[in-house]
Amino acid sequence: MIEVEHLTKRYGPVTAVQDVSFQVHKGEILGFLGPNGAGKTTTMRVLTGYMPATDGRVVVAGHDVFEQPVEAKRRIGYLPETPPLYPDMTVREYLQFVAKIKGVPSGDRKSRVEQVMVRTWVADMAGRACGKLSKGYRQRVGLAQALIHNPDVLILDEPTAGLDPKQIIETRRLIKELAGDHTIILSTHILPEVSQTCDRVVIINKGRVVAVDTPHNLMGRLRGAETMFVQVDGARASEAAAALAKVPGVVRVAPADNAATGAFEVESEKGRDVRRELAKAVVLGGHDLLELRPTRVSLEDIFLSLTTEEQPEEAAS
Amino acid sequence: MNNVLAIAHKELRSYFASPIAYIVIGFFALLFGWFYIGILDWFVRQGMQMGPMGMGQSNMNVNQQMVRPLLLNMTVVFLFLLPLITMRTYAEEKRSGTIELLLTSPLTDVEIVAGKFLGAMGLYAAMLAVSLLHFGLLFAFGTPEWKPLVTAYLGLLLFGGCFISVGLFISSLTKNQIVAGAATFGVFLLLWVIDWIGQGMGPRAEAVLKYLSMTEHLDDFVKGVIDTKHLVYYLSFITFGLFLTVKSVDSERWRG
Ligand SMILES: Nc1ncnc2c1ncn2[C@@H]1O[C@H](COP(=O)(O)OP(=O)(O)O)[C@@H](O)[C@H]1O
Ligand SMILES: [Mg+2]
């Protein structure tokens, strides 16, 4: 449903996003996880056609966002980081305006607006000026705005930021309900959010994708955080891998990315040094050990900079 | 077209939801009323002086001697009021982030710019409409020609359209509506005096700057003449202003 290929975005000399590629399948919820400044908002702005990429391609619901912007935008609902509300319009007027510019046929507009207001729990504020809403309500009107034209794809930039715990739970439940009919990308810098809401996670740091996996696997990788890079002579690589996996304390053995056959990433239980055992296993198995070194624990570093606590933000305004 | 109207309607709403529309229309009504009474007073006294001298009322032309100077004088007021209309059009959307809604909706840049232009023109037309009430009084008490009045208002709409297209462009360059307003006023002033600058610069430069001057083209309209030369000038000016605005919005996307 969404294909992002080699996306790069530079702001003048600053490279905000570099060579990002991923896909989102129909009906899936993809979490976009990364610390502040990682490039989440930038990626989403490119995906929604708000700004063009410096390089790369984005296809949403079969339409290239740069080649056929209007067609692509018809199929996208977008909640920016700050909900784009007009302070002097009432919630109902605002949603009617959005419905109009998003191309909802005039006959359906009224009922669509009422429907969406109920769905996002803002119906009781329908007559209130958007400028006079609390942070929680603003966020929900922002969500209502994104849903108004029943788009195939929803792109939500930190949808729970600034909400109180009860609102966070409600919003996550709503997002889960919406999946299936809609394909959803949501960004967050809160670790538990992805495990509770998302089917798959893209972890982004300093503008680069560092991991794409299910929340379950990612959590596993976080716990078994010690990672070694092991390279053996390529001849009987799979045998060597099996030998490595048998070493006590080893959690996972996977072929290393972008490396020759015979190169593996070996994850072991946290705090357990298995280097000697790994070396022994390789040599006793009759393989030639070419390299053995701890890899940068990049994933862990990133997780450390993520918010792991379920605390509402300092509620601004 | 529906999209353009949706944006225009939104713009008009927001003018009338804020003090801007009332300030602009109020000031205009006040100043116009002031000029109107002054010139009416003068006109009536002139008429009375001429009367006894046997020249008769017939030589006094309401259109030429009253409407024309009045409207030409009023254009000064636009220098101050039109920046108020255009300054927030883009700047405020950029500041508040609502520009993200517009630019991610299935609209083209041209539709957005055209909608904003129409909205601003709507407020400007509402402002001009106030002056129509005064002229209506003239019809009640005299027999002015209505044709020059119609062409005069057409001229004023085009004239204001030029300023508004420039104002939109300037507003699209900044996030700060005050900066946009001040810069717009400065540029309007420059356009206003551009033919004065030319004086003493030799006949060629004088002719060129005179051609560029916006007031220069208004006079024929107010006299009741629609000259294609002037029409072309105004329409190409407006088109160019709107074109610059579209380009500016587009390049803003690249800059982010
Ligand atoms: N308009 C901009 N101009 C210049 N640099 C920007 C702009 N927007 C974002 N950046 C930079 O790009 C990087 C990524 O920012 P952003 O996409 O907002 O990250 P996130 O949403 O993950 O917090 C940051 O280093 C930020 O400073
Ligand atoms: Mg962000």
pLDDT for the residue numbered A314: 44
Dist CA B10 CA B103 (whole Å): 15
The angle, 0 to 180 degrees and rounded to 10, between the axes of the packed helices B2-17 and B19-50 is: 80
**Per-residue pLDDT tens digits for A81-94:** 999 999 999 999 99
Query: What ligand 1 atom has the least distance to the C-alpha of A14?
Result: 5
Give the type of residue at B162.
C
The stretches in chain B having pLDDT less than 50 are 54-56
State the Cα–Cα distance between residues B181 and B176, nearest whole angstrom: 9
A10, A41, A47, A186: residue to mutate for ligand 1 pocket, most atoms within 8 A of CB:
A41
The 3-state DSSP class for residue A271 equals: coil
Q: Helix B109-141 crosses helix B228-255 at what angle (to 10 degrees)?
A: 140
User: Could you say which DSSP state residue B67 is in?
Assistant: I
- A79 neighbourhood in chain B, CB within 8 Å: none
**Cβ(A84)–Cβ(B97) below 8 Å:** yes
Q: What per-residue confidence (pLDDT) applies to B220?
A: 82
Q: What is the pLDDT of residue B32?
A: 86
**Helix and strand tally (H, E) in chain B?**
12, 0
Selection from A246, A260, A254, A200 nearest residue A227 by Cα: A254
Block residue for tokens 């959005």: A98
Q: Which residues of chain A have pLDDT under 70?
A: 219-226, 257-259, 295-317
ipTM of the complex: 0.86
Helix (H, G, I), strand (E, B) or coil at A189: coil
A-to-B residue pairs, Cβ atoms closer than 8 angstroms: 76
Structural domain spans, chain B? 2-255
In the sheet that holds A55-60, the strands lie side by side as A14-24, A2-11, A55-60, A63-64
| Spatial strand order in the sheet of A250-255 | A250-255, A263-268, A226-232, A289-294
Cβ-Cβ contacts under 8 Å for B1 (sequence gap 6 or more): none
Residue A317 is predicted with a pLDDT of 39
pLDDT score for A303 = 67
pLDDT at A306: 64
Look at residue B122 in the predicted model and tell me its pLDDT: 96
Name the pairing type of β-strands A289-294 and A226-232: antiparallel
Chain A residues within 8 A of B7 when measuring between CB atoms: 101
Residues with a beta carbon under 5 angstroms from ion ligand 2: A 40-41
> From atom 27 of ligand 1, which residue's Cα is the shortest distance away?
A37
In chain A, the domains with their CATH numbers are 2-220 (3.40.50.300), 223-294 (3.30.70.100)
